[in-house]
Amino acid sequence: MWDITTQNSVASFESHKNEINGLTFSENGVYFASSSLKENVVNLWDLRKSQTFKKIQLPENFDVRSVKFDHSGTYLGIVGTSTYIYHMKSWNLIAEFKDNTDILTDIEFGKDCKYFATTSLDRNLKIFS
């Protein structure tokens, strides 16, 4: 992690064995989540302590492609072979969507979390409300 004003390294985070393909910061900048393409885990980090505080273990062969916090700080979306939505306060899985026909590549939350959208390798954009 770098301080952009001083251009100095301020923290180092090591947990994934493979290259990082997903990184998202919470709305208040306290937490961030990271994922790796060849691992079925999402690591949740507390920037105040520079350490992981939770690991979300996903099913075997889950191909994580993207992780995103919503703008309100309520939800975390994870996409890959399917879509998972977690509630941030409890870190419980609250929704799972498996109706995609190919690997999902990204997720984005809409205004006030009234909807979210996913994209996939089958060139589909799906909006869930």
Q: Which residue has the tokens 């590549």?
A: 105
- Structure confidence at residue 13 (pLDDT): 65
Q: Are 79 and 125 in contact (CB under 8 A)?
A: no
Which two tokens mark 91? 């870190």
Span 101-121, average pLDDT: 94
The pLDDT of residue 63 is 84
Q: Token pair of 88, please?
A: 């941030």
Three-state DSSP class for 113? Answer: helix
Distance CA 9, CA 44 (A): 20
Tell me whether strands 104-109 and 75-79 are parallel, antiparallel or unpaired: unpaired
HSE-up (13 A, CA, CB side) for residue 92: 3
Q: Which CATH superfamily is domain 21-128 in?
A: YVTN repeat-like/Quinoprotein amine dehydrogenase (2.130.10.10)
| Domain spans in the chain, listed from the N-terminal domain onward | 21-128
d(CA 118, CA 80): 10
Cβ atoms 21, 64 nearer than 8 A: yes
Query: Model confidence over 32-83: pLDDT tens digits?
Result: 898 988 888 899 988 888 788 899 999 988 889 999 999 998 999 999 999 9
